[in-house]
Amino acid sequence: MKRTKINRLLEAEAPQDQVLVKGWVRTRRASKGFSFLELNDGSCLKSIQIIADKSLENYGEIERITTGSALSVTGALVESPAKGQAFEIQASEVAILSLAPEDYPLQKKRHSDEFLRSIAHLRPRTNKYGACFRIRSELSFAIHKFYREKGFKYLNTPVITGSDCEGAGEMFRVTSLDPDLVSKQGRMDFTRDFFGQEANLTVSGQLSAEMFALALGDVYTFGPTFRAENSNTARHCAEFWMLEPEMAFCDLEENMDHGEELLKYLIGHITEHCSQDLELFTKFVDKNLAGVLDTLKTSLYSRITYHEAVEILQKSGKEFEYKVENGTDLQSEHERFLAEEYFKKPVFLTDYPKTIKPFYMRMNDDNETVAAVDLLVPRIGELIGGSQREERLDMLEQRMDQMNLPRESYWWYLDSRRFGTVPHSGFGMGFERLIMLVTGITNIRDVIPFPRTPGSINF
Amino acid sequence: MKRTKINRLLEAEAPQDQVLVKGWVRTRRASKGFSFLELNDGSCLKSIQIIADKSLENYGEIERITTGSALSVTGALVESPAKGQAFEIQASEVAILSLAPEDYPLQKKRHSDEFLRSIAHLRPRTNKYGACFRIRSELSFAIHKFYREKGFKYLNTPVITGSDCEGAGEMFRVTSLDPDLVSKQGRMDFTRDFFGQEANLTVSGQLSAEMFALALGDVYTFGPTFRAENSNTARHCAEFWMLEPEMAFCDLEENMDHGEELLKYLIGHITEHCSQDLELFTKFVDKNLAGVLDTLKTSLYSRITYHEAVEILQKSGKEFEYKVENGTDLQSEHERFLAEEYFKKPVFLTDYPKTIKPFYMRMNDDNETVAAVDLLVPRIGELIGGSQREERLDMLEQRMDQMNLPRESYWWYLDSRRFGTVPHSGFGMGFERLIMLVTGITNIRDVIPFPRTPGSINF
């Protein structure tokens, strides 16, 4: 007999004479010759109730079933008299696959996120983390679906790279040099390393994606990216996933249109497909979650320039930890004030000073600002960072010279401006920030299966 | 006016008075006051023909348009009298976005794969590589679609890891130690490194995925994996993508059923959705491609044991470079012989000697072989490698002790066998090998956007 997953059973249209279900016991309670077992198989938030009575051959064993034990249950799917569940299973056979010992850490009670982080290999078995990782999975799928419907091609840009996209930034080094050899030589001799030169973990697939956008038109990357920043905050991990669309024949306005359309689509998709899991977050994590998601989905996102934003912040009368000054980067507190308190919805900031942005962004006619764009959202701050790219070879070379970037290292990137250059744009969206946004979870460590942070590489 | 992509125009149901199209010129030829421009925008293999006549204001400029130049064209979509194309565009306006200089490397002629590898940033602009990377994108999507339909959850396992899944294997080291500091200290002091210990690039997400399978039921990872093997072959890259499904309540037979269903689905999907691009490979790369794909899609895959395979190979009378001996790993030539010549279709090999397989595979009752499975396919050899996992704590610990693997490093992995352990299985499929299989491309460097191999980290 084929096993049926619990989400299917709970959605069944009618009772069934015989079903086979497998899963893990969340709780067991006994009552005069009956055992009520809540069985969960991870297919959905809800468990199914199994009713085992003492007529079962192994009822003695069933009475010893503990939380976390694994069962294979055959029985009839019947309508449930209990509230909140349409069906339950009258067991005709309960096979115990394994009994969890009494020291199983996930006994029925609430555990702190900190504790659960220390058992990240077990936390997806809890309601909250199960829900979180199902939502993460569904959001990934929604991203691929959105882009395929729009005719974008998915691209895998390299993780190991010889170039540094941002022209700076702290990168991890990748090496196959033997530490013993390094000790003997007293130094790291990269000419003898795997690639014959220094190699790093990518901080962005953008430059590679641009090459493909100028060939296939619309492309996107979606993969792991890395920052070796030694900062222990709730918003930063050393390893995280980033979505980066890159579009040929696309200017800054269209770039914003695209970002707004994307975010609305993703919110729409998960409110449709993850309602049960989202409810958990509304109930236990953020009472306002539904309102936040509705604003993201239905509001018209604001669009202002960096300079206008600075003016709003300076006139706000708000006491910020960091002073707002023209020409400096906005801090998270400023970004959140704009989105949360001032606009009360997502807002695009454009045309940042060139001095605080990378070399590849398109120079505006004022020669002072560039065609950059950040999307700020309530509770998160920056969700999207992008730009129209500098497609004019002479302007790009000039900018690289000013920033002391060696042209020869970027020969292939410059080639794309020599041969068939066209206006093009793109952005990066931190995937974990998106998950935090839609669940209300406030620590990035809790939306990644196994987070990597300074000093922490467990599991 | 909104731009329409060329694949949509070529599939149009009727002529249209005015369309806007943007792309790059593949060729231009002139004939008595007319210019015929083949314009491609990467949305599909085919280009659309633009007819520009001398009545256009800038016809003088149009006559100087070179291969690789970028255009924005407005005009009427009309039925084409030419063979092989339903529609063409009678241009009313041809705006030149950029003119490619005469030294544009992709002039109309066939280029060698070796040459195109040296300009990997431009090769997706060719017919062959455009087709290859569109197929790659569509295969990715098909994988996500297949798994979502089956209720699997997508999981992002960490790229940076402190553990070594295979218990051996050559791994890249990840470090943020300053090489100057290393020189000063004369050694690499990992206690002062980013994670406070040695860190590597993952060779497999399996162990992490098992943790999630034992929580969410059915999961899969699909992401970059790494091998620091200094081998320059047409089948190995230092960085490649791997699909790894992991299924709770699944034995070796069901694991094979799953692999067979997956591969058939993927082949079916791309023959349906990539027919134009696949045709190119049938025409120019492998005349037998359609037959190969049909066999993959419709045949019943064979299933034999490793020992049966060894017997077949030994009795084959075939001269192999490497001798076939019981208890040793099969070589690529052996694997290909079995799939290509003997069975002439995919074949699963099961129950390998424990001595040549990793610690986590389930021990068979003979205590000599393990519940391993490889899928061998024509032209590629091993496409899938997997196993039923050892779910019995005592057996697993015994095996780890025998192989001198420290239990304490795997405490979290062993936990999963302490708490709610169940039979489970999974496998890994090299994504690039799959693309080689369906396109007939024989060098892995040519199915990855920017390949990483020993001594090579360009772009």
Q: How far apart are CA B175 and CA B33, in angstroms?
A: 64
Per CB-CB distance under 8 Å, the chain A contacts of B216 are: 42-43, 124, 130, 133-134
**Centroid of chain to Cα A403:** 32
Q: With contact defined as beta carbons under 8 Å apart, do A36 and A28 qualify?
A: yes
At residue A164, the pLDDT reads 60
pLDDT tens string A130-189: 999 999 999 999 999 999 999 999 999 999 998 765 555 689 999 999 988 899 999 999
Cβ neighbours of residue B194 closer than 8 Å, sequence gap 6 or more: A172, A228, A230, A238, A454, A455, B174, B175, B176
User: Number of residue pairs across A and B with CB atoms under 8 Å?
Assistant: 313
pLDDT above 60 for B166: no
Which pLDDT band, with edges at 50, 70 and 90, does B108 fall under? confident
pLDDT above 70 for B55: yes
Select from A43, A136, A162 the Cβ nearest to the Cβ of B151: A43
The residue whose two tokens read 């042209």 is A407
Q: Tell me how far CA of residue A416 lies from CA of A187, A409, B122, B123, B130, in angstroms.
A: 37, 14, 8, 12, 16
How much is the mean pLDDT over chain A? 95
pLDDT tens string A14-24: 999 999 999 99
Q: How far apart are CA B317 and CA A90, in angstroms?
A: 60
Select from A72, A423, A457 the Cβ nearest to the Cβ of B160: A457
Tell me which residue of A143, A138, A375, A388 sits closest to A260, measured CA to CA.
Answer: A375
Q: Per the CB < 8 Å rule, is B211 touching A104?
A: no
Per CB-CB distance under 8 Å, the chain B contacts of A204 are: none
How large is the average pLDDT for residues B22-36? 94
Q: Per the CB < 8 Å rule, is A68 touching B419?
A: yes
pLDDT tens string B94-104: 999 999 999 99
Q: Per the CB < 8 Å rule, is A159 touching B197?
A: no
pLDDT above 90 as % of chain B: 92
Per CB-CB distance under 8 Å, the chain A contacts of B211 are: 121-122, 124, 459
Per CB-CB distance under 8 Å, the chain B contacts of A177 are: 173
Q: How far apart are CA B90 and CA B87, in angstroms?
A: 10
Per CB-CB distance under 8 Å, the chain A contacts of B412 are: 119-121, 458-459
Q: Per the CB < 8 Å rule, is A458 touching B412?
A: yes
DSSP states of B224-260 as a string? EEE-------TT--SEEEEEEEEEET--HHHHHHHHH
Q: How far apart are CA B266 and CA B270, in angstroms?
A: 6
Distance (Å) from the C-alpha of residue B356 to the closest C-alpha of chain A?
Answer: 25
Quick one: closest CA in B to A146, which residue? Answer: B141
Select from A23, A119, A201 the Cβ nearest to the Cβ of B174: A201
Per CB-CB distance under 8 Å, the chain B contacts of A150 are: none
Q: Tell me how far CA of residue A68 lies from CA of A5, A97, A122, A319, in angstroms.
A: 18, 11, 10, 50
The β-bridge partners of B69 are none
Tell me which residue of B165, B150, B158, B265 sits closest to B217, measured CA to CA.
Answer: B150
pLDDT tens string B395-435: 999 999 999 999 998 999 999 999 999 999 999 999 999 99
Q: How far apart are CA B144 and CA B222, in angstroms?
A: 9
Cβ neighbours of residue B419 closer than 8 Å, sequence gap 6 or more: A68, A100, A101, A104, A105, A106, A122
Which pLDDT band, with edges at 50, 70 and 90, does B165 fall under? low
Distance (Å) from the C-alpha of residue A113 to the closest C-alpha of chain B?
Answer: 17
According to the 3-state scheme, what is the secondary structure of A368-398?
CEEEEEEEEECCCEEEEEEEEECCCHHHHHH
Type of residue at A157: T
How large is the average pLDDT for residues A105-121? 94
pLDDT above 60 for B132: yes
Select from B5, B106, B416 the Cβ nearest to the Cβ of A151: B5
Q: Per the CB < 8 Å rule, is B160 touching A124?
A: no
Select from A133, A155, A421 the Cβ nearest to the Cβ of B70: A421
pLDDT above 90 for B32: no
At residue B124, the pLDDT reads 98
Q: With contact defined as beta carbons under 8 Å apart, do A457 and B412 qualify?
A: no
According to the 3-state scheme, what is the secondary structure of B376-416?
EECCCEEEEEEEEECCCHHHHHHHHHHCCCCHHHHHHHHHH
Select from B176, B239, B415 the Cβ nearest to the Cβ of A172: B176
DSSP states of A113-180 as a string? HHHHHHTTTTGGGSHHHHHHHHHHHHHHHHHHHHHHHTTPEEE---SEESS-TTSS----EEE---HH
**Orientation of helix B289-298 relative to helix B252-273, angle to 10°:** 140
Tally Cβ neighbours within 10 Å of residue B109.
5
Q: Per the CB < 8 Å rule, is B211 touching A421?
A: no
B306 burial class (0-12, 13-18, 19+ CB within 10 angstroms)?
A: buried
Alpha carbon distance, N-terminus to C-terminus of chain B: 36
Question: Which of A138, A174, A273 should be substituted to probe chain B, the one whose Cβ sees the most B Cβ atoms within 10 Å?
Answer: A174
Tell me which residue of A218, A190, A165 sits closest to A425, measured CA to CA.
Answer: A218
Which pLDDT band, with edges at 50, 70 and 90, does B110 fall under? confident
Select from A160, A208, A230 the Cβ nearest to the Cβ of B449: A208
At residue A426, the pLDDT reads 98
Q: Per the CB < 8 Å rule, is B154 touching A140?
A: yes
Select from B43, B156, B160 the Cβ nearest to the Cβ of A151: B43
Its pTM surpasses 0.95: yes
Q: Per the CB < 8 Å rule, is A199 touching B457?
A: yes
Q: Per the CB < 8 Å rule, is B154 touching A175?
A: no
Q: Per the CB < 8 Å rule, is A154 touching B141?
A: yes
How large is the average pLDDT for residues B266-295? 97
Quick one: closest CA in B to A198, which residue? Answer: B457
Quick one: closest CA in A to B125, which residue? Answer: A215
Per CB-CB distance under 8 Å, the chain A contacts of B248 are: 22, 41-42
Q: Per the CB < 8 Å rule, is A186 touching B186?
A: yes
Quick one: closest CA in A to B453, which residue? Answer: A195
Q: Per the CB < 8 Å rule, is B199 touching A458?
A: no
Q: Per the CB < 8 Å rule, is A449 touching B212?
A: yes
Cβ neighbours of residue A201 closer than 8 Å, sequence gap 6 or more: A159, A160, A161, A171, A172, A173, A174, A225, A226, A228, B159, B160, B174
Question: Which of B137, B173, B247, B416 should be substituted to probe chain A, the one whose Cβ sees the most A Cβ atoms within 10 Å?
Answer: B137
Type of residue at B104: Y
Q: With contact defined as beta carbons under 8 Å apart, do A77 and A114 qualify?
A: no
Residues in chain A: 459
Per CB-CB distance under 8 Å, the chain A contacts of B416 are: 121
Residue A124 in tokens:
């997806």
Distance (Å) from the C-alpha of residue B385 to the closest C-alpha of chain A?
Answer: 22
Distance (Å) from the C-alpha of residue B344 to the closest C-alpha of chain A?
Answer: 32
At residue A85, the pLDDT reads 86
Computed on alpha carbons and rounded to an integer, the radius of gyration of chain A in Å comes to 27
Q: Per the CB < 8 Å rule, is B216 touching A155?
A: no
Q: With contact defined as beta carbons under 8 Å apart, do A156 and B224 qualify?
A: yes
Q: How far apart are CA A106 and CA A122, in angstroms?
A: 8
Distance (Å) from the C-alpha of residue A264 to the closest C-alpha of chain B?
Answer: 21
pLDDT above 90 as % of chain A: 92
- Strands B381-388 and B424-430 come out as antiparallel
Q: Tell me how far CA of residue B206 lies from CA of A125, A275, A416, B80, in angstroms.
A: 18, 30, 39, 54
Q: Per the CB < 8 Å rule, is A420 touching B24?
A: yes
**Centroid of chain to Cα B323:** 31
Q: How far apart are CA A99 and CA A69, in angstroms?
A: 4
pLDDT tens string A45-104: 999 999 999 999 999 999 999 999 999 999 999 999 888 889 999 999 999 999 999 999
Select from A148, A172, A238 the Cβ nearest to the Cβ of B175: A172
Q: How far apart are CA A289 and CA A287, in angstroms?
A: 6
Type of residue at B219: V
pLDDT tens string B61-86: 999 999 999 999 999 999 998 888 89
At residue A412, the pLDDT reads 96
The β-bridge partners of A382 are A376
Q: How far apart are CA B30 and CA A125, in angstroms?
A: 68
Q: Per the CB < 8 Å rule, is A186 touching B183?
A: yes
Distance (Å) from the C-alpha of residue A413 to the closest C-alpha of chain B?
Answer: 8
At residue B85, the pLDDT reads 86
Distance (Å) from the C-alpha of residue A318 to the closest C-alpha of chain B?
Answer: 37
Quick one: closest CA in B to A176, which residue? Answer: B172
Q: Per the CB < 8 Å rule, is B452 touching A188?
A: no
Q: How far apart are CA A27 and CA A15, in angstroms?
A: 24
Select from A43, A130, A208 the Cβ nearest to the Cβ of B459: A208
Question: Which of A419, A425, A435 should be substituted to probe chain B, the one whose Cβ sees the most B Cβ atoms within 10 Å?
Answer: A419
Quick one: closest CA in A to B163, which residue? Answer: A459
pLDDT above 60 for B269: yes
Q: How far apart are CA A284 and CA B176, in angstroms?
A: 39
Cβ neighbours of residue B363 closer than 8 Å, sequence gap 6 or more: B354, B370, B371, B390, B395, B399
DSSP states of B68-117 as a string? T-EEEEEEEEEE--STT-SEEEEEEEEEEEEPPPTT-S--SS---HHHHH
pLDDT tens string A233-257: 999 999 999 999 999 999 999 999 9
Per CB-CB distance under 8 Å, the chain A contacts of B435 are: none
Residue B381 in tokens:
């050899």
Q: Per the CB < 8 Å rule, is B133 touching A151?
A: no
At residue B169, the pLDDT reads 64
How much is the mean pLDDT over chain B? 95
Alpha helices in B218-345 (DSSP H): 252-273, 275-284, 289-298, 306-315, 332-336
**Orientation of helix B127-149 relative to helix A206-216, angle to 10°:** 110
Q: Per the CB < 8 Å rule, is A151 touching B104?
A: no
pLDDT tens string B373-387: 999 999 999 999 999
Q: How far apart are CA B184 and CA B181, in angstroms?
A: 5
